[in-house]
Amino acid sequence: MRRFSKFASKLPEGAKVAIEVSTSGIFAYEHLDEKGIEVHLAHPVYLNPFAKKHVKTDKVDAWVLAQLLRMDYLPESYVLGKELRGQRVMIRHHASLVRLRTSIKNRVHALLAIEGIQTSEFSDLFGKRGLKRWKLS
């Protein structure tokens, strides 16, 4: 964070910055935007045709982004407002937790089936009655 702040403080007034969208790219976007720097987030999918024409290194990628921005040819991503980005993060995290819970429940069902343990007496193995049966509540 300190190194990035130091970098950002050295940017001249009116500087334009192009960043490829990524998790750290959003952090950089917010930090630079707060400092009044014009930030452009490059859409990674639409950068592919440009990226395949050269050796992939950070230095070369930075040069390509700079040239595309300079020529006003940078394929940009839409940036949600900060509040909506936060809500989106929470919704995605919730969805991943639900998928994880489902996966774990499916594993438990599979293990019980492998051991030949009947669970059909419960409509929901993880409901109140099901958990009581296994003495887990």
95 and 75 assigned to the same domain? no
Residues 47, 53, 55, 57: what is their CA dihedral angle, to the nearest 10 degrees?
A: -20
108 and 59 assigned to the same domain? no
56 and 91 assigned to the same domain? no
Q: Can you give the residue range of the structural domain that contains 93?
A: 83-133
- Is 103 strand, coil or helix? helix
12 and 39 assigned to the same domain? yes
68 and 96 assigned to the same domain? no
Is the whole-model pTM more than 0.75? no
Say if CB 37 and CB 17 are below 8 A apart.
yes
Higher pLDDT, 54 or 82: 82
pLDDT tens-digit map of 57-101: 888 888 889 999 999 999 998 888 888 988 999 999 999 999 999
- Is 38 strand, coil or helix? strand
Task: State the total domains in the chain.
Answer: 2
Cα separation, 42 vs 17, in Å, equals 10
